[in-house]
């Protein structure tokens, strides 16, 4: 019976593949990849890597399965700071290969000449210390301080620095992996875990096709705690209990998301809480969200980040931006979907509050951006994808969708959204594909929206929805009272949420005196805050207003935390207040930060000078 079943499954799978072969989807040109996937396309990667923590290198092979649409064409891969040792057929017969000229921040093409019958290649290689995807941590950079740690970050174009691949989000591949690491360490990946083989190597497999930026690996002293049947959390032993408590609502979030967007298609939904040098808040690696420990506030007040990374299981991972110019399709949709999950779990007021704060941050940032960076369909020619990173794809993108929802009505809009995820499941699509869907399925909405203004022009259109919330209005009243001279201790702040405190701190005027800072800290204990968002906002004020008693806390924070979102405003304020001090602190800490953070911060704190 079992045999018959697997036979049937095999036949069905082969039929699908045959159909796939006859009509390959044309992949749109991606200026950030050397690959030519419409000629030869990678469909599967089989990794076999050993992690050498002493040398800070990964070494081994990758075997790539190929589809050949142009029989004459070579295979072209993206590599960056990799040492290629050999390229062969899977039988071991050498193939002719060549590394092309290096383009700054983008790497180089690896061109492989294929024999007429080759349907796969094997590449033997190792990573190098210049590679940006892998951050190797010394034990003292971890929570427990006992063992070293490694994690990878693929988005946007870093996967090519740990795996030679067609590193474009337009190409989707399945993968499996075998990872060897020292005893006592556990390896986890963005894939199904298959346990350890007889040699002690960790094995993984992902049968859903994903863009290469979602292949991810972490390895360290890890413990697992189940949150529900399909959800759980990985963290170092000293963090696991706090992490599990903070993330207790995860299963409810998945259920809410399924009601809104359709079935969760990835099997498990786990999270890993990484060491604090992780440069992002979260990264939506399939089946295993990577998260910063700075979301562990103790009161679940920062779990919108989980809703966000979870929402990427639909927007981003299931339906993916075809190029980095369409990045808002990932992040704008996800920010919109995150807010819907938050609303379903915690109510309209909480969701609207988060949205209002996001709009505030967007408006502040719009004053600093160049016009091209304000365009949803971002013109990235001559730029690295990360140069287009701002609140624009996130918040302007989400507001565009909220405006569409407003015009369609929630019921019609939700049906459209579910259809969008269903129709494009496991596809990479462009902004134009989305607009075509909208014009076809909701023509009245498409007709009313100024689509050109929203997607092709800078700035925030006047019809962007602007929710109002009682809880933030209450904060504004207290800010006014404070400005009128009411002492902080007499303000009505009882029971305020993290979001209300953020509003309060962001409203502090430029004229705030050191005496006022002292009074605020005495009343509210900001310098002692265990909430990273509140603390970061407070430390920024402390720098701007010369509040010395926060210095030690600031220095500790900069030493420990590597999250770019926090480091950027803090160093920006430091440079403005005291460039010498900024440089000195940055020099002390730079080696501990991820290259993703330093590539932003180097430009803010000019280290050379």
DSSP 558: H
305 binds ligand BES (CB under 6 A): yes
Min separation Cβ 599 and ligand BES, Å: 12
- Name residues whose C-beta falls within 8 Å of residue 125's C-beta, 6 or more positions apart in sequence: 59, 60, 61, 62, 82, 83, 84, 85, 164
Distance between CA 126 and CA 493 in Å, rounded?
56
Min separation Cβ 351 and ligand BES, Å: 14
- Count of beta carbons in the 10 Å neighbourhood of residue 196: 15
- Answer with the entry of ligand BES, Zn ion, none that 282 interacts with (C-beta below 5 to 8 A by kind): ligand BES
Residue 394 among the catalytic residues = yes
284 binds ligand BES (CB under 6 A): yes
Which of 308, 340, 350, 592 lies at the binding interface for ligand BES (CB under 6 A)? 308
Task: Report which of 319, 226, 302, 332 is spatially closest to residue 271, judged by C-alpha positions.
Answer: 226
Q: In the window 373-392, what residues touch ligand BES (CB under 6 A)?
A: 389
283 binds ligand BES (CB under 6 A): yes
Q: Name the segment binding ligand BES (CB under 6 A); options: 11-19, 128-136, 302-310, 500-508.
A: 302-310
Count the site residues for ligand BES by CB under 6 A: 14
312 binds ligand BES (CB under 6 A): yes
Q: Name the segment binding ligand BES (CB under 6 A); options: 125-133, 278-286, 430-438, 543-551.
A: 278-286
Task: Report which of 178, 161, 162, 169 is spatially closest to residue 212, judged by C-alpha positions.
Answer: 169
Tokens 């992690």, residue located:
51
- Answer with the entry of Zn ion, ligand BES, none that 333 interacts with (C-beta below 5 to 8 A by kind): none
Per the DSSP assignment, residues forming a β-bridge with 319 are 315, 427
Q: In the window 326-365, what residues touch Zn ion (CB under 5 A)?
A: 331, 334
Q: How many residues does the chain have?
A: 609
Our CA angle for 6, 421, 418, nearest 5°, is 110
User: 284, 309, 343, 540: which one is catalytic?
Assistant: 309
User: 394, 420, 547, 586: which one is catalytic?
Assistant: 394
Tokens 């949709």, residue located:
333
Per the DSSP assignment, residues forming a β-bridge with 122 are 63, 88
598 binds ligand BES (CB under 6 A): no
DSSP 97: E
592 binds ligand BES (CB under 6 A): no
Distance between CA 601 and CA 56 in Å, rounded?
24
Which of 34, 125, 204, 280 lies at the binding interface for ligand BES (CB under 6 A)? 280
Question: Measured from the CB atom, is 331 or 433 closer to Zn ion?
Answer: 331
Min separation Cβ 154 and ligand BES, Å: 8
Q: For residue 99, is the peptide bond before it cis, meaning its omega torsion is within 30 degrees of 0?
A: no
- Beta-sheet strands, E only, within 395-543: 427-429
Question: Which H helix or E strand runs over 410?
Answer: helix 410-423
Residue 269 among the catalytic residues = no
105 binds ligand BES (CB under 6 A): no
Which positions touch ligand BES (CB under 6 A)? 155-156, 280-284, 305, 308-309, 312, 331, 389, 565
Report the interface residues with Zn ion, using CB under 5 A.
331, 334
| Residue positions annotated with a catalytic role | 309, 394
């Amino acid at each position: 019976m079992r045999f018959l079943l697997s036979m049937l499954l095999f036949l069905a799978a082969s039929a699908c593949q045959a159909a796939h072969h006859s009509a390959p989807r044309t992949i749109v040109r991606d200026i950030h990849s050397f690959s030519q996937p419409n000629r030869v396309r990678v469909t599967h990667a089989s990794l076999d890597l050993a992690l050498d923590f002493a040398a800070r290198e990964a070494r081994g092979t990758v075997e790539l399965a190929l589809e050949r649409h142009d029989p004459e064409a070579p295979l072209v891969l993206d590599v960056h700071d990799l040492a290629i040792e050999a390229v062969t057929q899977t039988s071991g017969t050498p193939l002719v290969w060549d590394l092309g000229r290096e383009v700054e921040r983008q790497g180089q093409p690896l061109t492989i000449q294929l024999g007429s019958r080759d349907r796969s290649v094997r590449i033997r290689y190792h990573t190098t210390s210049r590679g940006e995807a892998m951050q190797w941590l010394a034990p003292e950079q971890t929570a427990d301080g006992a063992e070293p740690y490694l994690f990878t970050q693929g988005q946007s174009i870093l996967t090519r620095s740990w795996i030679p691949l067609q590193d474009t989000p337009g190409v989707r591949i399945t993968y499996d992996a075998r990872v060897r690491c020292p005893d006592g360490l556990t390896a986890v990946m963005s894939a199904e875990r298959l346990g350890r083989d007889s040699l002690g190597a960790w094995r993984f497999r992902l049968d859903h096709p994903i863009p290469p930026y979602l292949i991810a690996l972490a390895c360290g002293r890890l413990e697992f705690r189940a949150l529900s049947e399909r959800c759980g959390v990985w963290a170092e032993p000293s963090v696991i209990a706090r992490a599990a408590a903070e993330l207790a609502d995860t299963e409810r979030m998945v259920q809410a998301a399924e009601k809104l967007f359709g079935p969760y298609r990835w099997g498990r939904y786990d999270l890993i809480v990484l060491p604090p040098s992780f440069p992002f808040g979260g990264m939506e690696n399939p089946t295993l969200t990577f998260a910063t420990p700075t979301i562990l506030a103790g009161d679940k007040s920062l779990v919108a980040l989980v809703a966000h990374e979870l929402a990427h299981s639909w927007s981003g991972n299931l339906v993916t931006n075809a190029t980095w110019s369409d990045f808002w399709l990932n992040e704008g949709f996800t920010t919109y979907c995150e807010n819907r999950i938050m609303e379903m779990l915690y109510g309209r007021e909480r969701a609207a509050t988060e949205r209002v704060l996001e709009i505030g941050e967007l408006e502040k940032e719009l004053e600093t951006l160049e016009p091209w960076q304000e365009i949803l369909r971002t013109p990235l020619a001559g730029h690295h994808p990360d140069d287009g990173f701002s609140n624009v794809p996130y918040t302007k993108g989400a507001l565009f969708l909220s405006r569409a929802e407003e015009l369609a009505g929630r019921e019609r809009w939700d049906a459209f959204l579910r259809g969008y995820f269903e129709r494009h499941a496991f596809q990479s699509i462009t902004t134009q594909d989305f607009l075509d869907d909208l014009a076809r399925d909701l023509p009245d909405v498409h007709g009313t929206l100024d689509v050109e203004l929203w997607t092709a022009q800078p700035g925030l259109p006047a019809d962007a929805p602007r929710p109002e919330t009682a809880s933030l209005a209450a904060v504004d009243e207290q800010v006014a009272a404070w400005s009128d001279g009411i002492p902080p201790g007499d303000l009505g702040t009882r029971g305020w949420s993290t979001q209300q405190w953020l509003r309060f701190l962001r409203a502090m005027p430029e004229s705030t005196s050191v005496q006022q800072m002292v009074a605020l800290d005495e009343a509210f204990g900001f310098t002692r805050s265990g909430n990273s968002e509140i603390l970061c906002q407070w430390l920024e004020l402390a720098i701007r207003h010369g509040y010395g008693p926060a210095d030690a806390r600031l220095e500790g924070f900069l030493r420990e935390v590597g999250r770019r979102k926090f480091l950027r405003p803090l160093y920006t304020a430091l440079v403005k207040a005291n460039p010498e001090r900024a440089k000195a602190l940055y020099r002390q800490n730079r080696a501990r930060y991820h290259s993703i953070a330093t590539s932003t911060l180097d430009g803010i704190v000019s280290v050379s000078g």
